[in-house]
Amino acid sequence: MKFSHWRYFDFWLLGSVLALTILGITMISSAVAGNYELTVTTPLVQRQIIFAGIGLVFLLIVANIDYRIWGSLSTTLYIGIIITLIALNIIGAALFGSARWFRSTLVFIQPSEFAKIVMILTMGNYFATHFHQMDQSKWVIRSFLMAMGITIWVILQPNLSTSIVLMVLWFVQLWFSGVSIKLLASYFLAAIVIIAVSFPLLVEFGVIHQYQLDRVMTFLSPDPNARYGDTYNIEQALISIGSGGIFGQGYGQGSQVQLRFLKVRWSDFIFSATAHELGLIGASLIMLLVFAIVLRCIYAAKVSRDVYGSLISYGVATLIAFQAFVNFGVNLNMLPATGLTLPFVSYGGSSLVANMIAIGLVESVIMRHNIIQV
């Protein structure tokens, strides 16, 4: 039967994603309450609901498409995202002074979020095609150059945090492509040495900016007298988490959130806002749902009938886990501020839709895991 694969649709995965998304919308609503600009002029809650609906539609459409089709389209996707990112760098820099979004009256579209999906698909196809050749350095070097073909245009926006995500996706897929641990470790050490040696040049040519260095220094050696900036934001995040206790101060009742001491509480620090108002229970729920999503993606990788499906699933698991881990780390002052949002929870249309598409890819792998390959 044509649609018989739908019987294997992973409702546990979908349920975890929807629960996390609904929790995110709920907390965004509390975070922007009473803020005229964010509730009337730019209604974040209504927009996030619309993005969630659009993302769900894309999730179901992508799940219905055989994931192997994306392998045959990988070259087209690769060229297309590079052209988009180049155009964004030119138009964004010329019109807005920054090159992260295509801006319209209604929405901002951030192509780098979709570049993560293209990275997973194109590098997954490359590694699957050369699976038995990855112990040869030339194939690894070629894969690195391919990955940099996308990443360099994100670095130039500038968007270092997303660039790091892209390279982490490349590295993890390389790891699961059959490269020996010994070679993988040597490549990693070589990368560390290259970055260390070229660091002054990266700063000189603007690849690494002063504000990014300041964030690291603030993390390593915070100024106790600082009243604003990253130090202030982290301090308020820690106060929010600590004052939440086990049960929280109550939804819509948290002083840190409602009196706006906690900044960017609908995006970068929504985890702190949740811990403040819903307590350890709410924060733990977010962590458990993220963990459940990552586990289901790993399950998809394990049951996939081919290497490409496994690499897609491992890539999506890495995408969700890494961004969530970094966001948790920033909120808990365990990592320097990065700007990476919490998947499915933080406000952001491009991020939400892209993550929904990523889950659709995993669903496609699960739905076809027992179909005989042809």
In a domain, 206, yes or no: yes
Q: Is the pLDDT of residue 96 over 50?
A: no
Q: Is 278 helix (H, G, I), strand (E, B) or coil?
A: helix
How many whole angstroms separate alpha carbon 246 and alpha carbon 274?
Answer: 12
Identify the pLDDT of residue 95: 45
In a domain, 53, yes or no: no
In a domain, 142, yes or no: yes
Q: Which of 43-47, 197-201, 325-329 has the highest mean pLDDT?
A: 325-329
**Tokens at 82, concatenated:** 């590079």
In angstroms, what CA-CA distances link 83 with 70, 119, 357? 18, 14, 21
Q: Give residue 1's pLDDT band: very low, low, confident or very high (50, 70, 90).
A: very low
In a domain, 68, yes or no: no
In a domain, 37, yes or no: no
In a domain, 116, yes or no: yes
Mutual orientation of helices 11-31 and 349-367 as an angle, nearest 10°?
170
Q: What is the pTM of this model?
A: 0.91
Say how many residues make up the chain.
374
DSSP letters along 218-269, please? HHHS--TT--SHHHHHHHHHHHHHHHHTTT-S-TTT-HHHHTT-STTTTTTT
- Give the DSSP H/E element, type plus range, for residue 309: helix 307-331
Report the pLDDT averaged over residues 241-253.
Answer: 94
Q: Give residue 5's pLDDT band: very low, low, confident or very high (50, 70, 90).
A: confident
Mutual orientation of helices 229-244 and 270-303 as an angle, nearest 10°?
80
How many whole angstroms separate alpha carbon 268 and alpha carbon 81?
Answer: 26
Expressed as residue numbers, the domain containing 276 is 73-344
**Tokens at 44, concatenated:** 């974040």
Long-range contacts of 130-136 (CB under 8 A, 24+ apart): 130/177, 131/177, 131/178, 131/307, 132/178, 134/174, 134/177, 134/178, 134/179, 135/178, 135/179, 135/180, 135/183
Identify the pLDDT of residue 226: 60
Using one digit for the tens of pLDDT, what is the confidence trace for 157-203?
878 889 999 999 999 999 999 888 888 888 888 888 888 888 787 77
In angstroms, what CA-CA distances link 205 with 31, 126, 156, 260? 38, 31, 10, 37
Using one digit for the tens of pLDDT, what is the confidence trace for 250-285?
999 999 999 888 988 999 999 999 999 999 999 999
Nearest to 174 by CA among 143, 133, 137, 148: 143
Q: Is the pLDDT of residue 94 over 50?
A: no
In a domain, 65, yes or no: no
Q: What is the count of structural domains for the chain?
A: 1
Report the pLDDT averaged over residues 132-148.
Answer: 91
Identify the pLDDT of residue 98: 52
Contact between 124 and 315 (Cβ < 8 Å): yes
In a domain, 51, yes or no: no
Using one digit for the tens of pLDDT, what is the confidence trace for 106-130?
667 889 999 999 999 999 999 999 9
Using one digit for the tens of pLDDT, what is the confidence trace for 281-311?
999 999 999 999 999 999 999 999 999 999 9
